[in-house]
Amino acid sequence: MALLDDLQAEVKKIRAEQHRHNAELDAQEQFYSEHIRPIMFGAYEYLIEIVENLQIIAPDIYASYPIGPPEKKAMVLKQKDYKFNFDNAKSPRQLDIICRCVLEQSFEFHVPTKDEVIRQAATLESYRFPYHRRDILDKRQEIRGATFSLEGPMKVHIRIVADPADKRIIVNLRNLEDLPFKSYKFSPEAVDDALLERLARVLMRQETTLVAVKVCEKVREDLRRKIEVEKLQREQDLAQAYAQLESEKLAEHNAKLTTRAKQAVVDKAGAFVKAFSKN
């Protein structure tokens, strides 16, 4: 009977775990209904009207991004084509505002060194900005420069997500603040009319950050330095990853060349032996 007892104990354990899991889901659903849903529905009503008005008015809104050549960096893009997506109008759990930033005319520039090429590519990748690149190679097939053609458009994205498991509302910003991506977590009560209006102003480039932090000048300077260090580290990490990818591509290319050269030698030797045998 020991085997049956063990099986029954395992079944009991599984059912208890399922019951606990279902209880957690029920609690999350109740929290969503009571605390998050009213906030998400209010955000839905407000933001869909903001987007509809922007679609009709089509205001001239411009934003600057550090995606240009090393000597210039800042490039001004025009923001346009607003869209609003949602999963459920009555009980929304995800809201999306999407628009595009475009160059008003094509832009091409030369980058003279391999390190600058890698940094430039890493920056464009971090902003997910479409571009075309023509590498200039030396005799060893290594990059010694490149020409970049900025194509675009670049997507700008606000996503608001209900997270009842964490009892939070998440706001993700893509290409809107000083970093390519920024994520915030708010308690439901923090997502009030003032925050929603500030979010709309961030979208319209009337505010630079979603959360206004009042700090003394010394703390502000320390934060500025920290952001610069983090940005530099991120660029270095991206550049390192990109350099590794380029190195692997080059190694693969050289391996193919070596294989072809060896095959050519073998073919030539074979032809020579064949000709010699005939004689």
pTM of the model: 0.73
Query: Which residues are 102's β-sheet partners?
Result: 78
Instruction: Give the pLDDT of residue 240.
Output: 72
User: In terms of C-beta distances under 8 Å and separation of at least 24 residues, what long-range contacts does 104-108 make, across chains too?
Assistant: 104/78, 106/149, 106/150, 106/151, 107/68, 107/75, 107/149, 107/150, 108/147, 108/148, 108/149, 108/150
- The three-class DSSP label of residue 93 is coil
Q: Cis link prior to 153 (omega < 30° from 0)?
A: yes
Q: Locate tokens 């109740």: which residue? A: 30
Burial category of 163 from C-beta neighbours within 10 Å (exposed 0-12, middle 13-18, buried 19 and up): middle
Instruction: Give the pLDDT of residue 273.
Output: 46
Q: Locate tokens 């970093």: which residue? A: 179
pLDDT tens, per residue, the chain with 279 residues: 788 877 888 888 899 899 888 889 999 999 999 999 999 999 999 999 999 999 999 999 999 999 999 888 899 999 999 999 999 999 999 999 999 999 988 899 999 999 999 999 999 999 999 999 999 999 889 999 999 999 999 999 999 999 999 999 999 999 999 899 999 999 999 999 999 999 999 999 999 999 977 656 666 677 777 777 776 777 677 767 666 777 677 667 666 666 665 566 556 656 554 555 555
Query: To 10 degrees, what angle do helices 193-203 and 37-57 make?
Result: 30
Is the distance from CB of 158 to CB of 172 less than 8 angstroms? yes
- Alpha-carbon distance of 179 to 157, in angstroms, equals 13
State the Cα angle at 186 between 185 and 190, rounded to 5°.
165
- Strand positions, DSSP E, the chain: 61-66, 74-86, 94-102, 107-111, 131-137, 143-150, 154-163, 168-174, 181-186
Residue 78: phi, psi to the nearest 5?
Answer: -95, 135
DSSP 8-class letter at 132: E
**What would the DSSP string read from start to end of 139-202?**
TTS-EEEEEEEE---EEEEEEEEEETTTTEEEEEEESSSSSSEEEEEE-GGGS-HHHHHHHHHH
